[in-house]
Amino acid sequence: MAKTKRTPVHGWVILDKPYGMTSTQAVGKIRWLFNAEKAGHGGTLDPLASGLLPIALGEATKTVSHAMDGRKVYRFTVAFGEERTTDDLEGEVTGTSDRRPSQSEIESILPRFTGEIMQAPPAFSAIKVDGERAYDLARAGEAVELAERPVLIEALTLVDIPDPDHATFEVTCGKGTYIRSLARDMGRALGTAAHVSMLRRVAVGPFTEAHMISLENLAELGHKAPGGDANKGVLLPIETVLDGIPALAIDEEQARRLKLGQSVLLRGANAPIAEDSVLVMSGGKPVGLGTIEQGSLKPKRLFNL
């Protein structure tokens, strides 16, 4: 049987990942819906988390690191009274407490968890320990203790206390922050035990809730048009994730030279002299990422469009 020919689709799909699905499964589903040659995601969401999962198709996969490095916004609910092996609902209970913090007590500790803080990742995480994933070691029954590392929390606010056992928060944070660890550590700071009972991501870099689309809606679009052509309307351009990078327009001949791996001398009084990273555009389309040294544009990562 002949293999299905894949389509050269390029851009970002901002999926509202459903609860219970792995990020890898979500990528596979989107790749199938678009019949795309390549796909990848811009930052893992645990199966028990829902919300914004940026999925790169085609040449957009070359910009995945820019999504992963962007700030994230999460809404999460902390359940007081139990610590768990995974720091969320999935794990076994390892400790309990009858203490329930008041609103004023919760608000009083938030400054401790704002700014650059030290955080120990959960034992059940994808961090490698001597070449093995921490979660594989933890599932095998080995004691896993991961060293604290600095993470940046830009904002942390209390949103709601629906009942004495739960409190809901919103956090804006940088790369490498574990919300499960944050919930665990907040519980300890309040003199109780705690874990995450709900986690939803609502922003990654330039992507927000306004960009999100559900799997059901994507599938419906695909069913309405042969070959899933209607799905192309939900594709965001490759350069969307590169909002924070200076853009540089060059002409067609300069673009041709850059794609051959050659440097391009930038002329004119306003030509930039040095930039670590620029988004190179030509004819309104992205050519790739480049660097400028002493007025010379050099290719760094080019798009095959």
Query: Catalytic positions, please?
Result: 46
Is 55 in contact with 27 (CB distance < 8 Å)? yes
Closest by Cα among 273, 199, 231, 266 to 19: 199
Is 14 in contact with 52 (CB distance < 8 Å)? yes
Tell how strand 194-204 and strand 49-57 pair up. parallel
At residue 69, what is the residue type?
Answer: D
User: H-helix or E-strand containing 29?
Assistant: helix 23-34
Give the sheet arrangement for strand 275-282, strand by strand.
247-249, 275-282, 285-293, 296-302, 264-265
- In angstroms, the first-to-last Cα distance of the chain is 29
Structure tokens at 264: 């391009």
Neighbouring-strand partners of residue 170: 75, 157
